[in-house]
Amino acid sequence: MVREAKGKAGADVQVPLRSLGLSLSGGEQKEAIQKLIEELKTRFPQLSESYHITSDAIGAMATATDHGGVVLISGTGSNCKLINPDGSQISCGGWGHMMGDEGSAYWIAHQAVKIVFDGLDNLEVPPHDISYVKQAMFDYFQVSDRMGLLTHLYRTFEKSKFAGFCQKLAEGAQAGDPLCGYIFNKAGEVLARHIVAVLPKIDKSLFQGELGLPILCVGSVWNSWEKMKDGFVGVLGEHRCSAFSRFSLLRLKQSSALGGASLGARQIGKALPLDYAANVDVFYTHSFA
């Protein structure tokens, strides 16, 4: 990819870049990143003189602003990271589907499947009728009963495949199925609790801009924002205070690779000019009365 980019830029592929910035999932694992950099230098010495590899959350925020804010990821998995103006970082979540991923596509799919299983077992009373979700579950996984689903849950389990069921639930919520709507509302609540978790550590200056607290939303689950809004706003409303009275949700209009490149330039003392306003779209703003 880097060689291809050099070619498109008209640069000599044999001449190393001054610095290469990369924004990667798992980029906060220092030992793994150091090994990756050493491997790149050994195997591809013409690639770059210097490297700066960071997480997808940091790259996304660096694309949106140079002042910091909160990144809230809800895709296949979920994660929340606060980046203060001084560069300090606080995380909540990001532990994978066995220990977290609350509010993610995987979590939403799991909640739906679990409600169906528990309802049919008479273990728990479902909050709403399970008919739509049950049939959508059988159709998506191409099985005729719950026993058939066990293969997908265990022997051939794929997180991304399982999380893909969330799309069918989003369609159900859009069509007005009460159970799908209930689950997405719960997703909004649990995603908001990630913000609540980092709230005490947020630099006061991040509350004071025109947008209030900027929350950068990354991942496909945010396409169902309207179905999560009430739960999300409700939880944040319970924790409003004189400092935290307004927030805005932003989504990227450009690749987080821009932020990665910017951080790569900063690594060697250079500034990459970015038009931050053109890189994001503010899709929701809320002020607490």
DSSP string, 3-48: HHHHHHTT--TTSPBS-EEEEETTTT-HHHHHHHHHHHHHH-TTSB
Only one residue has tokens 């997480």, namely 55
- pLDDT at residue 36 in the model: 87
Q: Which residue has the tokens 């396409």?
A: 223
Partners of residue 22 on adjacent β-strands: 53
Q: Phi and psi for 99 in degrees, rounded to 5?
A: -125, 0
Q: In residues, how long is the chain?
A: 289
Residues 6+ apart with CB under 8 A from 41: 47, 51
Given a cut of 50, the residues of the chain with pLDDT beneath it are none
Using CB atoms within 10 A of its CB, is residue 88 exposed (0-12), middle (13-18) or buried (19+)? exposed
CB neighbourhood size of 200 (10 A): 8
Given this model, what pLDDT does residue 10 score? 85
Instruction: Return the amino acid letter for 69.
Output: G
pLDDT at 257: 87
Give Dmax (Cα) for the chain: 67
**pLDDT tens-place string over residues 12-37:** 888 888 898 988 876 677 888 888 88
Alpha-carbon gap, residue 209 to 26, rounded angstroms: 30
Q: Return d(Cα 261, Cα 1) in angstroms, integer.
A: 14
Q: Two tokens at 104?
A: 């993610």
pLDDT at 27: 64
Which residues make beta-bridge pairs with 71? Answer: 81, 216
Per residue in 243-252, pLDDT (tens digit) is: 899 999 999 9
For residue 262, which amino acid is it? S
Tell me how crowded residue 259 is: count the other CB atoms within 10 A of its CB.
29
Q: What is the model's pLDDT at position 244?
A: 95
Task: Write b or e for each residue in 43-66: b if 16 or more Cβ atoms lie within 10 A of its Cβ, otherwise e.
Answer: eeeebbebbbbbbbbbbbbbbbbe
Tokens matching residue 219 = 């991942």
